[in-house]
A = this chain, B = another copy of it.
Amino acid sequence: MGYRFDRDTAVTALGGGRYGAALSADWAIGGALHGGYLLAVACQAALADDAHPDLLAVAANYLRSPRPGPAEAVVERTRTGRRIGYARVLLTQSGEPVLDAVVTTGTVPDEAPQWTELSTPDHPAVEESLSMEGGSTPDGRPVPMAELREVRLDPSMPFVSGRFDGPPRVAGWMRFADGRDPDPLAMAFFVDALPPVTFAQGRFGWVPTVQLSMMVRARPAPGWCWITMRGGMEAGGFLDEEVEVWDSAGRLVAQGRQLALAPRPT
């Protein structure tokens, strides 16, 4: 049994650094498996026989959109240090590479920052935020994943009222629907699990990730996480999204950035 996120990202050792995974159709948006879910599967494989307990950081190239079903992760531990472990993970399906990641493991810090330039962003209370309608995307694609994670959007964002003249920013609360608390591994999913910033511009097409990097900065407290995503620039059909994840104690727990393809006009 256990929680869905753990069950659906679990891997089975096959020997020789290979791990079997079963990609679940439930972690999909509009027919494509969610990129953060795939990243978590790759990180599970890196952590499976690792000397270190936590995901510290991961960066990945997104090569193909896999189908639900069996997949295999090939893990090469490039260095196991006293404090940090390094691995590369190639997630494949039917022999084709799907996601290629460099993973860093260690023990995520639990103490207060020595210094920080980042202050907890202003945010509404969970109960004042807007439950995201789960059934489908604004352009009509079904979102099975909506059953598995709960989102409460910042009600002050213009796009939630149908105005698309706001900045390319999306913010909201998130948690797993079955009560699983956030942890370092979950951050691999959380950094990419809000709608893309182009929703704020009224552009609802798919925004495929090209490369994503993230780092876990503190062990998340139980409960909801407050996630902010902002677009920096779109040029030549590429855009970037910056993400920060803050836990229920107001602590920065993860930072990430992705390069993605701009959505096609729908």
Q: Distance (Å) between the CB of A220 and the closest chain B CB?
A: 13
* In the complex, chain A residues 209-266 whose Cβ is within 8 Å of any chain B Cβ: 210-211, 213, 215, 217-218, 230-238, 240, 252, 255, 257, 259, 262
From B61, B102, B108, B117, A167 is in contact (CB under 8 Å) with: B117
A139 interface residue per 8 A CB criterion: no
CB pair A64–B90 under 8 Å, yes or no, is no
| With A56-B259, A117-B168, A259-B104: A84-B210 Cβ-Cβ less than 8 Å | yes
From B59, B116, B168, A234 is in contact (CB under 8 Å) with: B116
In angstroms, Cα B198 to Cα A114, docked, is 12
Chain B residue with minimal CB distance to A257?
B257
| With A88-B90, A109-B235, A235-B109: A257-B213 Cβ-Cβ less than 8 Å | yes
Chain B residue with minimal CB distance to A103?
B61
Size category, A interface: 35 or more
Cβ–Cβ < 8 Å partners of A109 in chain B: 235-238
Cβ–Cβ < 8 Å partners of A215 in chain B: 211, 240, 257, 259
In angstroms, Cα B118 to Cα A233, docked, is 7
A127 interface residue per 8 A CB criterion: no
Cβ–Cβ < 8 Å partners of A240 in chain B: 215, 217, 255
When all copies of this chain in the complex are counted, the total is: 2
Q: Distance (Å) between the CB of A95 and the closest chain B CB?
A: 12
Chain B residue with minimal CB distance to A233?
B116
Q: Distance (Å) between the CB of A259 and the closest chain B CB?
A: 5
Chain B residue with minimal CB distance to A252?
B233
In angstroms, Cα B114 to Cα A238, docked, is 10
Using A59-B211, A117-B167, A117-B231 as known contacts, list a sample of 14 further A-B pairs with CB atoms less than 8 Å apart, ordered by residue number in A: A56-B259, A61-B104, A100-B102, A102-B102, A109-B236, A114-B262, A115-B234, A117-B168, A211-B213, A213-B257, A217-B233, A217-B238, A217-B240, A232-B252
A-B contact pairs, 10 of them (CB 8 A): A59-B102, A61-B78, A61-B88, A61-B103, A102-B102, A104-B259, A116-B235, A118-B232, A215-B259, A232-B252
